[in-house]
Amino acid sequence: MARASLGRKIAVTVAATVSAFSGLVGASASADPGNGQGAAPEHIFYIMMENQGDDDILGNTADAPFINQLANDNGVSTGFHGVTHPSLPNYLSMFSGDFQGIWDDCKAGADSTCAPEEFVPNSGDGTSGASLTPEQIASATAKPHMFAGKNLVDELEGKGKSWKAYMGGMPQAGFQGEFAPGNVNGTMVKLYAQKHNPFMYFSDVNSPGNARLQKVVPFENNFDADLKSGNVPNFTWISPDQCSDMHGISSAAAALVNKPNCTEPASGVAHGPIQLGDAFLKDTVTKITSSDTWKKTRSSIVIAWDENDYSGFSGGPGSPVGANGTVLGGGDSPLLVINSDKVHKEQGEKGKPQPHHKTSTDLADHYSVLSAIEQMWDLGCLANTCQHKAPESLRDLFQN
């Protein structure tokens, strides 16, 4: 009862403030998303990081001091998991509410098909203790990597909400290549990786002449410019390059880009990539929280890791099930939510983030995060988010 009462008080206060300061806040701010939890954020910045588990990040103050500061002062999910392995199906899950029945990281294309690389014999990684069924293997192997289903872009545009995707290392807007910069003096350098860009796997975005493609842009230069100008969409997706998202690249490629710490480890804690990712987040989050958008509107930053690449296959509520009923999950991973302080104009604040630590212990995954956004913005539901709704405690992370 206390939480519901507080939610109603917040909704009334914010609704009054929005009316009084409509020129600052904007008409699209929602006074009450209908879940009893008060006002929804007007802007959501969603940042997808890579390949780390809770124990790799949370408490690792040597490699990730800024992230741990954020975790101490803001919302944290300790029940969050990747939907499955490897990276690509988790990005698809967050973008479309469906991992699309694949277990690979292959390029986009109507003629692109790949056999599963995880949960198969001799995979050589942490998934070797579980197995796909023969039917799952056959279906995944034959599935073209260009999907026609409804996705988050469709939901956002259907409700009149703006969006933009910023991809680290992407050479130009709408780039359709698999990697960039690509071959450099005989070494493949994969700063940009298409597998971390789910927009390119859907035909209603990635098609010739589609205006939506021009909203998928390089992070470099574009994000800072848009943030500075105030041209910030309601939903911002950020995929950092592979030296900034904690994934890492080959040692030869890391040497070519003069980032030796970017070397992807064969196993164990990825100290160098974690340090680079922490630095990226410090720079990016600080820019967001120093912006006029953050100071003048209700905004939230979500920082999620796609999967835990190094230990096991525990899953979330929407993870698939394989042979012998084994859950084919993506392992535990961190999830953080940072919120602006209600309406700063009302509070007389200068935009400095204030501590609002909360913890959600409920089991969750990428479907849960997408569902939380759908519920707050009344977007409807996509595929698995229709049955795997975000738990109350996860939605509560978006409220101060």
pLDDT band at 11 (very low <50, low <70, confident <90, very high): very low
Backbone angles phi, psi at 238, to 5 degrees: -130, 120
pLDDT band at 35 (very low <50, low <70, confident <90, very high): very low
Residue 215 has pLDDT above 50, yes or no: yes
User: What pLDDT was estimated at residue 25?
Assistant: 34
- The pTM score is 0.89
The predicted model gives 87-102 an average pLDDT of: 98
Angle between helices 271-289 and 65-73 (to 10 degrees): 50
pLDDT band at 27 (very low <50, low <70, confident <90, very high): very low
Helix, strand counts (H, E) of the chain: 14, 10
User: What pLDDT was estimated at residue 14?
Assistant: 35
User: What pLDDT was estimated at residue 129?
Assistant: 86
Pick the CATH number of 44-396 from 3.40.50.2020, 3.40.720.10, 3.40.640.10, 3.20.20.140: 3.40.720.10
The predicted model gives 66-80 an average pLDDT of: 97
**For residues 219 and 205, what is the distance between their CA atoms, to the nearest angstrom?**
18
The fraction of the chain above a pLDDT of 90, given in percent, is 81
**Residue boundaries of the structural domains of the chain:** 44-396
Residue 101 has pLDDT above 50, yes or no: yes
The predicted model gives 96-119 an average pLDDT of: 97
Distances (CA, A) of 88 to 13, 95, 104, 211, 252: 41, 11, 7, 24, 24
User: What pLDDT was estimated at residue 268?
Assistant: 83
